[in-house]
Chain A
Amino acid sequence: MRSRVIQPAVIKLPAWRRRVLLIVVMAGFAALLGRSIYLQSMHKGFLQKEGDARYSRSMKLPAHRGMITDRFGEPLAISTPVESIWASPPDVQATPRQISKIATLLKMKPAELNKKLANNTREFVYIKRRIPPELAKQVMQVGVPGVFMQREYRRYYPAGEVMAHLVGFTGIDENGQEGFELRYQDWLSGKSGSRRVIKDRQGHIVEDLEAVKVPQDGHDLVLSIDRKIQYLAYRELAKAVDQFKAKAGAAIVLDARTGEVLAMANLPTYNPNNPVNMAGRSRNRAIVDTFEPGSTLKPFTAAAALESGHFTPDTHIQTAPGILRIGPATIHDAHPQGMLTVAQVIQKSSNVGSAKMALTLEPQYLWGIYNHMGFGTPTHIGFPGEASGRLRNYKGWRPIEQATMSFGHGISLTLLQLARAYTVFANDGELKPVSLLKLKETPVGQQVFSAKTALAVRDMLELVVQPGGTAPRAQISGYRVAGKTGTAHKLGPGGYLADKYVSSFVGLAPASNPRLIIAVMVDEPSSGQYYGGTVAAPVFSAIMAGALRMLAVPQDAPNDNIVIPPEDAPEIKEVV
């Protein structure tokens, strides 16, 4: 302790130097305090924003998309859970063995996976979307940090191509792309919730930043469709399209009393579960495409004539010699007839008779009838892309136009408009609105014709399917049928095409108390047959017979009511 340490004689420890040093050090502390205040109060907005950008995440809580069902609740579109695998590349730490294992599970090339994980500038990269939950679990069990899975939903369409046009489909993010999936997007999708959270660097949620917004699940959508009738309509239509080598076809089954669409089939079609090669296949032709209906329009001309008071069903009209000249133009009948009653004009589908009736009526009056039938205005059925058809204003009508319009030329309609128009014959002159959604009660329609006129025309339509009419093949065992054939040349760029037809048939049954209206349209049959009575009528009768039985509709005729004539007389339209 006492060991002597040399203390030199002269020691200079100036007090001012100590003070200067102390001031320098204290100034350092003061600078730190100032900087701390700056960072923690003035600069905090910017810093917190940067922080949020790094670890606060807004998570979408997907709402469950509602089902689309048929009228009995059978699913037509349902969402099933799937998982998507994603990664935050900067956080991924994986051995080559783990990479190859994940790649094998996901059926990817390891190089492809490595490429996705090499994207270090992004913090969210999908590796594979929409895989079965079981497979996703296996991928997660490989245990690579920075790889995550995310619950998503995949839309599944049990009815597949049978219902494709009506139901439509959704895109990868469950947004409706076509059909009802598109039209009722908001109703079906609900509102996805959200959650703002802070995540640690490994992606675990640490805390909620704000109240969780709970997702509101979407609503179910109940269509008016009867799945069984839909399958039937699709099958029969497909058979005919195939048999007559047609380009396309459409069929509609309406509940005659409520206007609900029980079936709507279209060809060609596609698989909504895997919507690829869609070109020309996704059109719901029954609603979005128009065509010149041809003779299926004649019953409305006849009804207009009866309603005018100038005609009764038994009024005679001279159709000989099967040719009618109006100015420079000529109207032909396929089979020249002589003196015909109004009923026979419909039965035999005489163009000349129809034209003569039409020409006795004021253009404004005839236009008014057609307009009330809904021709030229959309049905507002609520389907995206609905066409309105074309009914020209009566002010510009020339006599030849008025004449041809009476048998369905120079006017265009959708098949749905045509089918709806026939509700007047099933409801004593009342035109029913149509619906693709199931209705709770029968809607009130618009009275267009008197009940007497409607019944009279319905009787005429019954003659069409009997021997001497144009469509004996539309008959059904056990039920009385009323209907009308149509065969029209298609319009091309330079006028009517000589060898391209649209064959159609619209009918209702049972004729004594109509329950169903079925409209069938076959576009460009190319097997040689093209008359509505040959091509479309059999499709009608097959669908109608099956549907009436499915609905257990009481018979109004004996089972052996079908009378096939030895030689039928199909109708034909000529170029105007």
Chain B
Amino acid sequence: MMITLGSRERFNSATYDQGLVWVTLILLGIGLVMVYSASIALAEADKATGHQSTYFLIRQAIFIVISLGAGLMAFQVPTAMWQKMAPYLFLTGIALLVLVLIPGVGRNVNGSQRWLSLFIINLQPSEFMKLFAAIYVADYTIRKSAVMDSFTKGFLPMVFVMLLVGWLLLREPDFGAFAVIAAISISILWLGGINGRIFAGLLTLLPIAIVGLIWSSPYRLQRVIGFMDPWADPFGKGYQLSHALIAFGRGEWFGVGLGASVEKLLYLPEAHTDFLLAVIAEELGFVGVMVVIALFAWLILRAFGIAKEAIGNERYFSALLAQGIGVWIGVQGIINMGVNMGLLPTKGLTLPLLSFGGSGILANCIALAVLLRIDWENRRLQKGLPA
């Protein structure tokens, strides 16, 4: 009877994770509303947007539609295909990171060379590099699982690859993306059974490397100083953070009401991108912040749950990739929110699925589609169907 089923029935016979889809759509929806709210004043004041209040709303809506379409396509791709393509995707990612550094090809905004101009849209290669890195490191770990204990054979090659990626990203500079990619890689290595002593050494050396990186660049140092005490120089180094914190303080438990933020009225820079959470905190209060955190936490828990099921099905690449995607969304969310609340120095990382930005939303949606695919394949295997 199963053999006679049409492709349509076959698809339906293994249900997809509706909760994951809904949480994603809810986060995208909150993001769309809040991006609009946070960007009205900015859009109206800016000549570059033609003083249209809906400038960012329209673009974000288009990004979401494109991203959902791309996600639907990515869902069709079997996990095995991603694994097979892993090295090529990673090389493509590296090529794009090189391309973006070439003057005239990469576009420089506010001193950061992060964007590739493709006709009407600007592509941010580092966003896709996060996905490619997750796929690549997951595949690497599986391939090298036999030598994962070895420092020279298991660990060192990955260190070289990461140093290359890191060097390219810091040339832009995009420290935030490197931090996320490093977190994804280290997490997957950890899950894949890296030698405990190597890992301990890595955890010791990493902070030293980070401090060294900070000291080596006046621009990063300035951000860190502003983060340590934003009230020491609230009109200079601490300007952005002090305004973000004020937004939290004004929001109290239930917020000043949707649309009523004052900080977004050109006081808080990047209100619709990196500091969107501050506007959420001001307009929707602690309740709004709590809902966002809960949705992200649910997303991560789900990703790890899917990974656990994949292990049960002996699909180790899928398991590592699912967790890599979970770590990506989780770590980037935590860093962005931590920056908004003054727990971490300013990074230039967006809030996944919520902040304004085409490349970020597109990469996030593709990643979640891959996660959905892994779950879908799990369900099929549990029903005895082929993946």
Query: Which residue numbers of A lie inside 8 Å of B, CB to CB?
Result: 1-3, 5-15, 17-18, 21-22, 25-26, 28-29, 31-33, 35-37, 39-41, 43-48, 50-51, 54-55, 90, 121, 198, 200-202, 206
Contacts and interface: CB of A to CB of B under 8 A. Distances in A.
B19 interface: no
Interface string B268-295: 0000000000000100011001100100
B80 interface: yes
Interface stretch (B8-16, B66-74, B119-127, B316-324): B316-324
B153 interface: no
Contact of B267 (A17, A39, A55): A55
Interface in B369-387: 386-387
A252 to B, nearest CB: 60
Given A13-B316, A40-B285, A41-B252, A1 B296 contact: no
B108 interface: no
A198 B45 CA distance: 18
Contacts of A18: 191, 304, 307-308, 323
A25 B300 contact: yes
Contact of A21 (B41, B190, B297, B342): B190
Interface in B47-85: 78, 80, 83-84
B157 interface: no
Contacts of B33: none
A32 B262 contact: no
Contact of A17 (B41, B193, B253): B193
Contacts of A1: 78, 80, 386-387
Contacts, number: 166
Contacts of A9: 146
Contacts of B235: 90, 121
Contact of A50 (B234, B304, B342): B234
Nearest to B286: A40
Interface of B: 41, 45, 78, 80, 83-84, 142-143, 145-146, 148, 187, 190-193, 231, 234-235, 242-243, 245-246, 248-253, 262-263, 265-267, 281, 285-286, 289-290, 293, 296-297, 300-301, 304, 307-308, 311, 314, 316-317, 319-320, 323, 326-327, 330-331, 334, 337-338, 341-343, 386-387
Given A5-B84, A25-B300, A40 B252 contact: yes
B262 A8 contact: no
A34 to B, nearest CB: 10
Contact of A51 (B231, B249, B297): B249
A10 B154 CA distance: 14
Contacts of A47: 245-246, 248-250
Contacts of A37: 286
Contacts of A202: 45, 266
B286 A36 contact: yes
9 contacts: A1-B78, A8-B145, A11-B314, A28-B331, A29-B297, A29-B334, A40-B251, A40-B289, A201-B267
Contact of B323 (A2, A10, A21, A198): A21
B11 to A, nearest CB: 14
A328 to B, nearest CB: 82
Closest 10 A/B residue pairs (Cβ): A47-B249, A200-B265, A201-B266, A12-B193, A39-B248, A51-B246, A28-B334, A44-B249, A40-B286, A25-B330
